[in-house]
Amino acid sequence: MISVKNIYKDFGTLRVLNAVSCEIKDGEKVVIIGPSGSGKSTMLRCMNLLESPTYGEIWLDGKLLTPADPYLHPAVMQTSKTYAKLYGKMPDEAEVIRAIKEKDLLKKHEGRAYQAALKEVEKQNQIDINLARQQMGMVFQHFNLFNNMTVLQNLTLAPVQLKLKSKEEAEQHAMQLLTRIGLQDKANVYPSTLSGGQKQRIAIVRALAMNPKVMLFDEPTSALDPEMVGEVLDLIRELADEGMTMVIVTHEMGFAREVADRILFMDGGQIVEEAPPAELFTSPQNPRTKEFLSKVL
C-alpha cells in the first residue's frame, strides 16, 4: 500500500530522517514507537507529504507522490554527465552506480537527456498529491477540527468541496458516522464546546468520511486527559478489527502490543528494529530498543 523508499528529511542543518525505508502492506497495522525526537512523527507526516522528504520517494498503491529521486533509478543515473565521466575509469557499470550513490555525486545540471529521463519517470508514475491524500486519512495529536464549522460541516466539507458526494449524501454519511460513535446529537455544535475525547473521535470519523484506504494516526491520544484516552483507543481498535490499513505513531505501549501486526522502533532518524509485537516486546535485539523499552514498560 505505502512504500517509503530511502527518505531523508533535513530541517536546516538538522537531519531528522536518515535513509528510512519501509513497506506498509494492505490491511496491515503498523505501529511506530521510539523516543521523542526520533523522527517517527516526521516519517508519518512524510507519508502524505505534509512534510516533503529532502531525498527519497513515497509511493502509494504503485503511484509516486514525491518528485522522482534519481538515486533510486539506475537507468536515470546512466544518462547523467557524471556517469559518462566516470564510466571507463571504473571496472563495471554497477561500480559506477554505487560510487555515484555513495558519494552523492549528482549535480543540479546533468544534461538534457538526464532531465528528460527524470521527467519520464515522473510522468509514468506520479499522481496528484491532493488525489493521493484523499485516500489517506490523517488524525492529528491536536485534533485540528475546523473551529469555524459545526461538527457536521467538518465532516462534509471535503467530500462536498471535492465533488465526491452531493451535500445530501455527504450529510447522510456523516450522520451515520456520528451515530456510530454516539455523537449524533453534536452534529450542529461547534468544536469549542466538545471535550478532547469527543473532538478526537470526530476527527477520526472526519477522515473516515472520505472512505480512505489507509489511516495515519499521529499520536492520537497524547493531548488527551487520561480518562478520555480509552474512548479514542476503542474506536481505533474497532477500525483495526474491520481490517483498515493503519500506521500509528503512539506512546501507548499496551495498545501497540494489542493492535499492531508489526512494530517499528525508531531512534536517531532511523528504523532501528522492526518485528511483530510479541517478539519485539519480549526479546528486543538492539541495545537501543532494550534501553527504550526498559524505560517505558
Rank residues 76 and 235 by Cβ distance to other proteins and give the closer one: 235
Size of the site for other proteins (CB under 8 A): 31
Rank residues 5 and 199 by Cβ distance to other proteins and give the closer one: 199
Give the x/- contact pattern for other proteins in 169-198, rule: CB under 8 A.
-------------------xxx-xx-----
Q: What angle do CA 158, 128, 107 make, to 5 degrees?
A: 140
Give the x/- contact pattern for other proteins in 33-62, rule: CB under 8 A.
---------------x-x------------
Residue 265: all three cell numbers together:
522502533
Rank residues 32 and 208 by Cβ distance to other proteins and give the closer one: 208
User: By CB under 8 A, which span of 63-71, 96-104, 132-140, 168-176 interacts with other proteins?
Assistant: 132-140
Q: Binding to other proteins by residue 223, rule CB under 8 A?
A: no
Q: Binding to other proteins by residue 245, rule CB under 8 A?
A: no
User: For residues 80-109, which are near other proteins according to CB under 8 A?
Assistant: none
Rank residues 47 and 229 by Cβ distance to other proteins and give the closer one: 47
Q: How far is CA 205 from the centre of its chain?
A: 18
Please name which of 30, 58, 48 lies closest in space to residue 266, comparing C-alpha atoms: 30
Q: Binding to other proteins by residue 206, rule CB under 8 A?
A: yes
User: By CB under 8 A, which span of 3-11, 66-74, 113-121, 128-136 interacts with other proteins?
Assistant: 128-136
Q: Binding to other proteins by residue 12, rule CB under 8 A?
A: no
Q: Determine the Cα–Cα distance for residues 95 and 104; give it in Å rounded to an integer.
A: 14
Q: Quick one: which of 52, 134, 184, 222 contacts other proteins (CB under 8 A)? A: 134
Rank residues 235 and 271 by Cβ distance to other proteins and give the closer one: 235
Q: Binding to other proteins by residue 144, rule CB under 8 A?
A: yes
Binding site for other proteins (CB under 8 A): 48, 50, 130-134, 136-138, 140, 142, 144-149, 157-158, 161-162, 188-190, 192-193, 203, 206-207, 210
